[in-house]
Amino acid sequence: MAKKKQPNGSSSKVVNSNVMGLHAEVLEQPITETLELNYMPYAMSVIVSRAIPEIDGFKPSHRKLLYTMYDMGLLTKPRTKSANVVGATMKLNPHGDAAIYDTMVRLSRGYGALLHPLVDSKGNFGKVYSRDMAWAASRYTEVRLNPICAELFRDIDQDTVDFVDNYDGKLKEPSLLPTTFPNVLVSANQGIAVGMASNLCGFNLGEVCDTTIAYLKDENHDLLSTLLAPDLPTGGELLYDANTLRDIYRTGRGSFKVRAKWRYVREENLIEVYEIPYSTTSEAIMDKVAELVKLGKIKEIADMRDETDLTGLKLTIDLKRGTDPDKLMAKLFRMTPLMDSQSCNFNILIGGMPKVMGIGEILKEWTDWRSASVRRRVCFNQKKKQEKLHLLLGLQKILLDIDRAIQIIRDTEEDDQVIPNLMTGFDIDEMQANYVADIRLRNINREYILKRTQEIDTLQNEIEELGAIANDPKKIRKIIIKELTEVKKKYAVPRRTDIVYDHKKEEAASPDEDIPDYPVHLFLSQEGYFKKITPQSLRMASEQKYKEGDGAFLYWEGTNRDELLVFTDHHQCYKTRMSDFDDSKASVLGDYLPTKLSMEPDEKVVWACIAGDYTGNLLFFFENGKCARVDLTSYQTQTRRKKLTGAYCDKSPLVTAYLLKEDTEMAVYSSDSRCLIFHTAALSTKTTRTTQGVAIMVLKPRRTVVKVLPRSETPIVRTARYYAHNLPIAGALLRDEDNGTEQLSLLDS
């Protein structure tokens, strides 16, 4: 066995092996070195060179394709076959023709994935809202660049961006495209890298331009006042939530809800869905509706079909007689992808490093980058004018004695001495001498030279002005604002996604109407097994089955629409509906609540109750002799939360709890056989769930409260002995007749 030196200086073992007569060496390498040497370079390549967009709003595959089309002259020329573009793009992007064509499809007008398509397409390019509608092969379709692409390549030949070598070093390509507007916010983009992802939703071009202009004028501008909300290519209706959008604008992460647009055709008693959320497809909607109809959860639909044609998307739903279309759509929004959440993760490469940014940070990065591009363009033009001025200054010296210049050229015997002789004769440099020597014979006249030299003053003024612009950020911002104004005027279109501001009233309508309402009997065992049994089933068999060592704990009568609050030993409350449980039988164990409610591994049920209409109070009794009275409304939430942390005080273990609808007398038992009876009216109600409560029983050291019952459910005969007029008290020792033991002895005798 030998050791082999690794590139990083560490050593690995080389093991000789003989498999099927073949001699081979197997290199044993630690997994940490494998990750560092092999996996990390791959991960960084995916992040930096493939999946995450940059500040111009493009991934490398988009940029290579668009630049190839621009280089082919497809901004002004007629359409060409897509296969031609794909083939030419492979000079910059060697990942295969299929991947390049897929990129082209997503940027095309026909596919419809962008608010402002960059590729003007002809032929079948599929649809973003369809999962199964395949696009035609590249040999059948034709493409060219859309006019808006002129804003992506404006002044690209004026040193506005850096150019880098392509993969084989034979061609040059731009590292970024000098977009004159924040395309990163206009063009939707998604990417999945290694260990991170990016999801950029699109915004309306006009709103983006207005917001950028306002930001350039005031960095503290309220973005939400001009950038109203995301605008999605497939339209739909965005449910407006100012707080949610403000968080997304600030952090770059979050989600918002979008629902489909529909209309009711009264004459035919049907619903037509003509715009759907950007994050779903028509097939996914059809499949989900069919599943719900099959399960019997939706009974109002007679038929549903896809009638999409050349005019656009249309999903038709035939209704049964008497169906309310508004209620049906409200149900479909809750139960199908007709209403979906659009997630946001504004992860962008800045200087080669991925960074999640809010809208304000993105605008800052874009304006800084665009300012640098404009400054480079100004400096490029200034340099060109300086070079021209330099040549004209040389020509001006010739003006002093044209005949002498002609004489010098005529008297020079060798061609390569013409330039040095002119340089010596007029005290000009080589560049100026070459310029003079290249003037045609017909132009060697005073009129021509005077006209050219008259440009000197103009050029000097322009150079001075360009220098002032390059050194003044305010003037550069004015140029950017002017360009943004022009872009908005030429290319802005109305919003496609409508904004719904008053949707909370619609959502306030309870979905309980969709849940069947019938009486049920509810059983909870000591180990946490729960059963929902109908009265009919309970009449047929009432004997409950339990696991060995388990037994009855709590019992309620309620309805299938009731909500159950389950309290655990981790001081948490889980909320669930009776309709979430299947109807059961007495002969089965039932649903195990820790599993059904996805509790933590070591979490156990300590108590539960039916919330009803959330009127009343909860009494929490703790081992340390304290009792907390909490208003039941403290557990009521506007959203359908499944779990509430901090459900009750964690200072002492919970003995039991009690749902109090009206004040009554409670009996509290301690571990040293003492008891007290008090009236619950003596306890004040708290709205804080984690309140410690008040002391009701004074306990000796190492003594605890062990049991609490309503006085009516106890065998106590002499209540006056144990009644507490003031709290806390130690309670009285239990007598045998009040403990139920005397009655038992009488029965035994």
Residue range 350-371, pLDDT digits in tens: 988 999 999 999 999 999 999 9
Q: Kindly report the three-state secondary structure assignment for every residue of 168-199.
A: CCCCEEECCCCCCCCHHHHCCEEEECCCCEEE
In this prediction, residue 264 has a pLDDT band, given cuts at 50, 70 and 90, of very high
In this prediction, residue 12 has a pLDDT band, given cuts at 50, 70 and 90, of low
In DSSP terms, 122 is beta-bridged to 142
Q: In this structure, are residues 573 and 620 in contact, taking their beta carbons and an 8 Å threshold?
A: no
- CA distances (Å), origin 470, targets 161, 219, 369, 381: 16, 21, 14, 11
Q: Say if residue 511's pLDDT is above 80.
A: no
Q: Kindly report the three-state secondary structure assignment for every residue of 274-340.
A: EECCCCCCHHHHHHHHHHHHHHCCCCCEEEEEECCECCECCEEEEECCCCCHHHHHHHHHHHCCCEE
Burial 51-86 (b: 16+ CB within 10 A, else e): bbbbbbbbbbbbbbbbbbbbbbebbeeebbebbbbb
Question: What average pLDDT does range 326-348 have in this prediction?
Answer: 93
Kindly report, residue by residue over 277-293, the tens digit of the pLDDT.
999 999 999 999 999 89
Q: Residue 406's pLDDT is what?
A: 82
Q: Residue 594's pLDDT is what?
A: 92
In this prediction, residue 441 has a pLDDT band, given cuts at 50, 70 and 90, of confident
Q: Residue 13's pLDDT is what?
A: 57
Domain 370-491 CATH (choose: 1.10.490.10, 2.40.440.10, 1.10.268.10, 3.50.50.60): 1.10.268.10
Q: Residue 505's pLDDT is what?
A: 61
Q: Say if residue 747's pLDDT is above 50.
A: no
Tell me if residue 434 falls in helix, strand or coil. helix
In this prediction, residue 24 has a pLDDT band, given cuts at 50, 70 and 90, of low
Q: What stretches of 560-712 adopt beta strand conformation (E)?
A: 563-568, 572-577, 591-592, 605-610, 617-622, 626-631, 643-645, 654-660, 665-670, 674-679, 694-695, 705-710
Q: Say if residue 529's pLDDT is above 90.
A: yes
Question: What average pLDDT does range 464-488 have in this prediction?
Answer: 95
Q: Say if residue 17's pLDDT is above 60.
A: no
pTM of whole model > 0.75? no
Residue with tokens 């809010």: 358
Question: What average pLDDT does range 697-716 have in this prediction?
Answer: 91
In this prediction, residue 8 has a pLDDT band, given cuts at 50, 70 and 90, of very low
Higher pLDDT, 746 or 69: 69
Q: Which of 566, 563, 528, 564 is nearest to 546 (CA)?
A: 528
Which tokens hold the place of 567? 């309290």
Question: What average pLDDT does range 461-467 have in this prediction?
Answer: 93
Q: Which residues contact 535 (CB under 8 A, 6 or more apart)?
A: 519, 520, 521
| Residue 727 DSSP class | S
Kindly report, residue by residue over 421-437, the tens digit of the pLDDT.
888 888 888 898 888 88
Q: Is residue 743 within a helix (H) or strand (E), and if so which, with residue range?
A: helix 741-748
Question: What average pLDDT does range 555-569 have in this prediction?
Answer: 91
Lowest mean pLDDT among 177-186, 537-546, 680-689: 537-546
Q: Residue 749's pLDDT is what?
A: 34
Nearest-angstrom CA–CA distance, 251 and 616: 41
In this prediction, residue 450 has a pLDDT band, given cuts at 50, 70 and 90, of confident
Structural class in CATH, domain 261-337:
alpha beta
Q: Residue 514's pLDDT is what?
A: 62
Q: Say if residue 744's pLDDT is above 50.
A: no
Domain-wise residue ranges, the chain:
2-42, 52-170, 261-337, 370-491, 511-748
Question: What average pLDDT does range 376-402 have in this prediction?
Answer: 88
Q: Say if residue 271's pLDDT is above 80.
A: yes
Q: Residue 37's pLDDT is what?
A: 82
Q: Taken in order 223, 149, 172, 189, is the CA torsion positive or negative?
A: positive
Nearest-angstrom CA–CA distance, 532 and 522: 5
Q: Residue 455's pLDDT is what?
A: 85
In sequence order, which ranges of 79-143 are alpha helices (DSSP H)?
A: 82-89, 97-107
Question: What average pLDDT does range 586-614 have in this prediction?
Answer: 90
Q: In this structure, are residues 241 and 252 in contact, taking their beta carbons and an 8 Å threshold?
A: no
In DSSP terms, 121 is beta-bridged to 143
In this prediction, residue 523 has a pLDDT band, given cuts at 50, 70 and 90, of very high
Question: What average pLDDT does range 137-141 have in this prediction?
Answer: 96
Q: Residue 50's pLDDT is what?
A: 84
Q: Residue 36's pLDDT is what?
A: 79
In this prediction, residue 40 has a pLDDT band, given cuts at 50, 70 and 90, of confident
Q: Residue 394's pLDDT is what?
A: 86
Tell me the backbone φ, ψ of residue 663, rounded to 5 degrees. -60, 145
Higher pLDDT, 28 or 294: 294
Higher pLDDT, 441 or 15: 441
Q: Residue 509's pLDDT is what?
A: 52
Nearest-angstrom CA–CA distance, 606 and 211: 54
Long-range contacts of 314-317 (CB under 8 A, 24+ apart): 314/272, 314/273, 314/274, 315/272, 315/273, 315/274, 315/276, 315/282, 315/285, 315/286, 316/270, 316/271, 316/272, 316/273, 317/270, 317/271, 317/272, 317/273, 317/289
Question: What average pLDDT does range 454-476 have in this prediction?
Answer: 92
In this prediction, residue 696 has a pLDDT band, given cuts at 50, 70 and 90, of very high
In this prediction, residue 4 has a pLDDT band, given cuts at 50, 70 and 90, of very low
Q: Is residue 42 within a helix (H) or strand (E), and if so which, with residue range?
A: helix 40-46
Q: Residue 745's pLDDT is what?
A: 41
pLDDT exceeding 90 applies to what percent of the chain? 63
In sequence order, which ranges of 439-563 are alpha helices (DSSP H)?
A: 446-453, 455-470, 473-491, 503-508, 535-540
Question: What average pLDDT does range 588-607 have in this prediction?
Answer: 91
Q: Taken in order 740, 745, 748, 749, is the CA torsion positive or negative?
A: negative
Question: What average pLDDT does range 21-37 have in this prediction?
Answer: 73
Which tokens hold the place of 42? 């791959």
Higher pLDDT, 19 or 445: 445
Question: What average pLDDT does range 64-71 have in this prediction?
Answer: 97
Kindly report, residue by residue over 712-734, the tens digit of the pLDDT.
889 888 888 899 888 899 989 98
- Tell me how crowded residue 691 is: count the other CB atoms within 10 A of its CB: 18
User: Mean pLDDT of all residues in the chain?
Assistant: 89
Lowest mean pLDDT among 236-240, 420-424, 471-475: 420-424
In DSSP terms, 259 is beta-bridged to 237, 339
Q: Residue 507's pLDDT is what?
A: 57
Tell me the backbone φ, ψ of residue 22, rounded to 5 degrees. -100, 130
Question: What average pLDDT does range 560-568 have in this prediction?
Answer: 91
Q: Residue 14's pLDDT is what?
A: 54
Q: Residue 444's pLDDT is what?
A: 73
For domain 511-748, say whether CATH 2.30.30.100 is its number.
no
- Enter the CATH code of domain 52-170: 3.90.199.10
Kindly report, residue by residue over 603-649, the tens digit of the pLDDT.
999 999 998 888 899 999 999 999 999 999 989 886 677 889 999 99
Question: What average pLDDT does range 43-68 have in this prediction?
Answer: 91
- CA distances (Å), origin 128, targets 60, 107, 275, 512, 702: 22, 11, 12, 35, 69
Q: Which residues are catalytic?
A: 140
592: number of CA atoms within 13 Å, CB side?
A: 11
Nearest-angstrom CA–CA distance, 676 and 656: 16
